[in-house]
A and B are shown apart, each in its own frame.
Chain A
Amino acid sequence: MFSLIRAEVYRLLRKKSMYVYFCSLAAAYALIAFVRSGGFNAESIVGDAVNFLSLLPIVAGGFIFTAVYTDDLASRALPALIGSGMSRGGIVAAKLILAAMLGAFVFGLAPLVPYATHAALGFAASGAVMARIYAAALKFCLVTVGYCALSGAAVYGLQRATAAVVLYILLSLNVVGGLLAVLLRNALGEAAATAIASRTLSGITDRLLDALVGSASALPPLVEFTAYTAASVLLSAALFYKKELEF
C-alpha cells in the first residue's frame, strides 16, 4: 500500500495540468476580489472565503477525484497495480489516503489565497478570521474526501470513469442529497427527514464546523465521518474483490 502511495505521489507531482488548474482557480479568486475590491472587513472576508471554499468540493474536488481515481481507468493502470502484486483492499485504502493527502494539501493552501489576495488589496486578515476560514476549509476538505470515498465505489464496482465522475459531481452539487431529502420528506415526514439529513455527509460536516467555531465537541461528527468513509472503503473493496479487470 505504501509503495502505491509513493508511486502516486510521484505521479501527481508530475501532473502539470494540476498546477495549471489550481493556479487558475487562485487567479480567478484574486481577479474577482480585485473587481469587487473596497470596503473589506473581517465578516466580508470570511464570507468571501467561505463562498470560495464551498465551491472547492466541486471545482477542486472534482479534479482531485479524477487525478487520484479515474486517471487509473483512463490509462488502464489498474491491471498494472494488481499484476504488480498489490492487494485490492490495499489499492482502495491507498487511494482514499491519497485523496485525503491531496485534499489536505489543496484545502490547506486554499485559505492562503483569500488571505494573500486581501492582504495585497490592503486588508490583512487577523488570526481569528483565519481560524474561522480554516475551520470552513476543514469542513469542505472532509466533504471532498467523503464524496471521493463514496464515488470510489463506482470506480471499483463499474470500472467506468464517466459513471464515477458523474456520481462525484451529483454528490458535490448536492443533487443526490437533495433528492434523498425530498424522498425522505415524502415518505417519512419533515422531522424524520431532518433527522436523517443531519446524518448525511453534508449534515455531519455542518455539525463539525459548528463544533469547531462554537464550543461543542467535534468528536461525535468526526467519528461519524470516519464511520462514513470506512463504510465506503469497505463497500468499494467488496465491489472490487473479485471484479475482473478489463484492459
Chain B
Amino acid sequence: MEQPAVLRTDGLTKKYGAFTALNAVSLTVRPGDIYGLIGRNGAGKTTLFKCVMGLAAPTAGTVAINGESSRLRAERRKMGFMLAPSFFPYLTARDNLEYLCRLKAVRGRGEAERVLSLVGLRGEKKPYKAFSLGMKQRLGIAAALLGAPGAAVLDEPINGLDPQGIIDIRNVIKDIHSREGVTFVISSHILAELELTATVFGFIEQGALLREISREELRESTKKTLTIDTDDPQKARLVVEGMGAGDIAQNGSALVLSSGAERAGLYARALVESGVELRRLSAEETTLEEYFLRLIGGKSV
C-alpha cells in the first residue's frame, strides 16, 4: 500500500484583508523527498509554513500531515521544523535541546547529544547568545531532528551563511537524508543551492504554487541545447537534419538544437566536411534560476 504523503495541502488560502498571501496552494510532499520550495522574498513560503505548523489559521483549504488532517497537533509533534532559529540565549546548545526534548516528550537519554553530533555541535559549551549565525542555523536543524522525525521543515536554513557554512548545511541535510531517510521540506530563495539539494521542486509566486516538478522532470526541461553558429545556417540546417536532428530553432546565424549536445563532435565534423564555416559550437544548459525566471515571466529573484 502506498504511504500517505508526509505533507499535503489542498487549496490552502491565507488572506490578510484584501491581500492574498496564499492562493489555493495544493502541494504534495512524499516520503523520502527533499522538497525545495522556491520563491522570491514575500512569495508566500513562510506563510505556507506558518499555516502548516499551526502558527497562522488558513482562510480556506486544508493541511494534512502523514495523511491526517483532523489530528494535526498530534502529527505536528512527529514533524521537525526550523522556521527561524529561536532558542533561549542564556542556555547552551545542549540545554536548549534538552528543553525541547521535554517539550516534545522525546524519550531516550542522549538524544540531544545525538542530534548535536549530526550537525557538528557536540561538546559546544558556549551559551546560544555567543553562537555565530552558522552555529545557530545548525542548532536549528538539530532541533528539527530531535526524536528522529520522519520529516523536517526548514525555512531558509542557509540564510545569511557564508559559502563554507552553506556547503556544511547542504552536506548535513544530504547526509541525514541518505543515512536516516528523513524527508525534508526546504524553502529558499537561493536557487543554486536548492538545485544541488532538492529532489522535488515547488515554485511559488505571489502566493500561488506555479508548478511542482521532480528533479528528473526538471532535468528534462532544462537539458542541454546545442548552439551551432556558421556562415551558412541554411546549409548547416540541411546537414544536421540529414543526421537526424529535430526541433531546430534559428537565432540569427545560429541554429539552436533542443537536444543532441552529446553529438556535438559528429555535427562539427560533418559541417566542416560539407564546407560550412563553423564559428561557434556550444552546449548550454538552462539553470534552475533561468527556469524559474521563465516560469514567473522574467521578473528578477
A83: chain B residues at CB < 8 Å are 53-55, 76, 81, 83
Q: Which of B74, B77, B86 contacts A80 (CB 8 A)?
A: B86
Residues in chain B near residue A74, CB distance under 8 A: 89
Q: Which of A1-42 contact B (CB under 8 A)?
A: 3-4, 6-7, 10-11, 14-17
Q: How far is the CA of A75 from the CA of B139 in the complex (A)?
A: 14
Contact assessment for B76 and A14 in the assembled complex, using a CB-CB cutoff below 8 Å = no
A79 touches B99 (CB 8 A): no
Flag whether A87 is at the interface (Cβ < 8 A): yes
Residues of B within 8 A of A17 (CB): 90
- Say how far B290's CB is from chain A's closest CB, in angstroms: 32
Asked whether B104 lies within 8 Å of A79 as measured between CB atoms, the reply is no
In this assembly, does A214 line the interface, its C-beta being within 8 Å of a C-beta of chain B? no
Contact assessment for A75 and B103 in the assembled complex, using a CB-CB cutoff below 8 Å = no
B contact residues, total (Cβ < 8 Å): 29
CA distance A10 to B106 in the complex (A): 14
* The residue from B53, B75, B95, B100 contacting A79, defined by CB atoms under 8 A apart: B53
> A71's contact among B54, B88, B105, by CB below 8 Å, is which?
B88
Decide if B87 touches A75 in the complex (CB within 8 Å): yes
Contact of A81 among B50, B56, B91, B103 (CB under 8 A): B103
CA of A108 to CA of B216 in the docked complex: distance in angstroms?
66
* Interface assignment of B270: CB less than 8 Å from any CB of chain A: no
- Whether, in the assembled complex, B73 has its beta carbon less than 8 Å from a beta carbon of chain A, the answer is yes
Q: Which of A3, A81, A87 counts the most B-chain CB atoms under 10 A from its CB?
A: A3
Partner of B73, one of A75, A79, A85, A245: A85
Contacts A6-B102, A7-B100, A84-B104 given: A244-B90 contact, CB under 8 Å? Answer: no
Contact in complex: B86, A76 (CB < 8 Å): yes
Q: Chain B residues near A4: list those with CB within 8 A.
A: 103
Instruction: Judge whether B55 and A3 touch: CB under 8 Å.
Output: no
Question: When the two chains form the complex, which single residue of A14, A75, A85, A247 contacts B89, counting CB atoms closer than 8 Å?
Answer: A75
Residues of B within 8 A of A244 (CB): 50, 55-57
0/1 interface trace, chain A 225-247, chain B, CB 8 Å (1 if under): 00000000000000000101101
Number of A-B contacts (CB under 8 A): 82
Nearest CB of A to B48, in Å: 13
Chain A residues with CB below 8 A from B100, complex form: 7, 80, 84
**From residue B236, how far is it (CB to closest CB) to chain A in Å?**
58
Cα A14 to Cα B53 with chains together (Å): 28
Whether B84 sits at the interface, judged by CB under 8 Å, is yes
User: Which of A10, A71, A245 is the one whose CB lies under 8 Å from B50?
Assistant: A245
List of A residues within 8 angstroms of B75 by Cβ: 85
Q: Which residue of A lies closest to B105 (CB)?
A: A3
B205 within 8 A of A: no
Query: Closest CB-CB distance, B118 to chain A, in whole Å?
Result: 19
> Taking A83-B53, A85-B77, A245-B55 as contacts, is the C-beta distance between A11 and B88 under 8 angstroms?
yes
Q: Which residues of A contact B74 (CB under 8 A)?
A: 85
Question: Which residues 31-57 in B have Cβ within 8 Å of A in the complex?
Answer: 50, 53-57
- Whether, in the assembled complex, B98 has its beta carbon less than 8 Å from a beta carbon of chain A, the answer is yes
Would A11 and B76 be within 8 Å (CB), given that A76-B86, A79-B83, A244-B55 are in contact? no
User: Which A residue's beta carbon lies closest to that of B71?
Assistant: A85
Smallest CB separation, A87 vs chain B (Å): 7
Q: Is the CB of B99 within 8 A of A11?
A: yes
Partner of B84, one of A3, A76, A85: A76
Any chain B CB within 8 A of the CB of A77?
yes
Are B56 and A84 in contact, CB atoms less than 8 angstroms apart?
no
CB B110 to nearest CB in A, in angstroms, measures 16
Residues of chain B from 50 to 69 with CB closer than 8 A to chain A in the complex:
50, 53-57
- Give min CB distance, B68 to chain A, whole Å: 12
> With a CB–CB cut-off of 8 A, which chain B residues contact A188?
none
B177 to chain A, nearest CB (A): 21
A192 surroundings in chain B (CB, below 8 A): none
Least Cβ distance of B82 to chain A in Å? 9
Known A3-B102, A11-B99, A14-B95: A82·B86 in contact at CB below 8 Å: no
Chain B residues within 8 Å of A75, by CB? 86-89
Within 8 A of B (CB), among A67-120: 71, 74-77, 79-87
Q: Which residues of A contact B (CB under 8 A)?
A: 3-4, 6-7, 10-11, 14-17, 71, 74-77, 79-87, 242, 244-245, 247
Q: A7-B102, A11-B95 are in contact. List 6 more A-B contacts (CB 8 A).
A: A3-B102, A7-B99, A79-B84, A79-B86, A80-B143, A247-B55
Chain B: residues with CB nearer than 8 A to chain A? 50, 53-57, 73-77, 81, 83-84, 86-91, 95, 98-100, 102-105, 143
22 A–B contacts, CB within 8 A, in A order: A10-B95, A10-B98, A14-B90, A15-B90, A74-B89, A75-B87, A79-B83, A79-B84, A80-B100, A80-B103, A82-B53, A83-B76, A84-B77, A85-B75, A85-B76, A85-B77, A85-B104, A244-B55, A245-B50, A247-B55, A247-B84, A247-B86
Which 9 A/B pairs are nearest by Cβ-Cβ distance?
A76-B86, A85-B77, A7-B102, A83-B53, A7-B103, A245-B55, A85-B76, A85-B73, A244-B56
